[in-house]
Amino acid sequence: MYWKLHWTLLQHFLIHIVIGNRIDHLLENLDIKNTWTKSDLILCTNPRIPFENPELHCETVISQHFTLLDVEYLSIQPVLIRFHKFGNKTMLKEIQNKFRKSDEVEEQVVEGAESAMNHRGRVADGLWLEPHEECILPLFHKIQQNLRLNPAIAENFLILKYDKNGHYAPHYDHLFPMTIDYDNGWFEYFGNRMATALLIVQPAEVGGGTVFPNLELVVQPGAGDLLLWFNADSNDDREYNSLHAGCPIEKGQKMAVSLWLRGNFQDQLYCPTYSSRYTSYDMIKQLGSKRSHPQFDTRPQIPREYGGYWDDEDYDDDGDGSDILHVV
């Protein structure tokens, strides 16, 4: 009996030594040292999902398109769901090929007031793609057909590639209000970043998980897995626990596709009148039922009165809706 206890203590001691060495090695990188806390790095190097809430479970859902969705509930507040193998091998390969052949890949920087090329809170290369791009369209359609969110009301897709020591330090996707002049009316017309979808195209060999520090939760998705979480509740108040980060890459390379879904015009989302907060069940419990047609199949052009840019010859402004152009 005593030898088992001693062996367990020795195992824990050795694990702490290994984790400590990994953290020390990561902190040798100044970008990581200046933007990460040691406690968050400890989470990254010791991935775990604490299933203490009985509402957290796994199930398989059949959508109206007869698609089997393997769903894993990871958090209720905020809603955090993992869809296993959401993207197939063909989809992932096409995305990888597009990224590697493109000459429009750029270093990605932190947006907003901190935006600057010398800000190293995010170290990654990225490629922005519109939904109609051939490699992205299957993902767009699968989200639109199977989830209770409309990807037409979202920003463009962003493919991100993280090499060794690549990372995205803890941050919120939920934005502070922006003026029309700053973002050409995007915030005013489409609303805030209500939810984030993250498709893992290629996981790193070591590191690269998605950590939610306030939940003490680290998700290490596999290739093709889709993470979906809410950045705000149904009152559009920021979800405090949606703070998240992309853990540093210790070995290998990570590639993922991000999609920030905006809050306005999400008429497909089921939200109960008795609650001011979305729950996992509200999100997907009607996946297998018939769905009404979304208000927009494609992203509408931002009207001029909201700050959108229009050529005079294209803008009718007659109030009949004919001046809403579709860009996808």
313 — phi, psi (to 5°)? -70, -15
Contact between 142 and 197 under an 8 Å Cβ cutoff? The reply is: no
What is the residue-level pLDDT of the chain in tens, covering all 328 positions? 555 444 455 544 445 555 678 888 898 999 999 999 999 999 998 866 555 666 677 777 777 667 788 888 888 888 899 999 999 999 999 999 999 999 999 998 765 434 444 557 888 999 999 999 999 999 999 998 888 788 999 999 999 999 999 999 999 999 988 888 788 888 989 999 999 999 999 999 999 999 999 999 999 999 999 999 999 887 788 999 999 999 999 999 999 999 999 988 886 664 443 444 555 555 555 544 445 556 677 888 888 777 766 554 544 444 444 444 344 3
Q: Please spell the DSSP secondary structure of 35-90, one letter per residue.
A: H--HHHHHHHHS-------TT--EEEEE-TT--EEEEEEEETTTTEEEEET-S-HH
- String of DSSP letters for 144-189: HHHSSS-TTSB--EEEEEE-TT-EEEEE-SSPPP--HHHHTTHHHH
Q: Which domains does the chain have, with CATH numbers?
A: 25-269 (2.60.120.620)
Residue with tokens 């907060």, as numbered in its chain? 277
Residue from 63, 60, 81, 85 nearest 72 by CA = 81
Q: Is 310 helix (H, G, I), strand (E, B) or coil?
A: coil
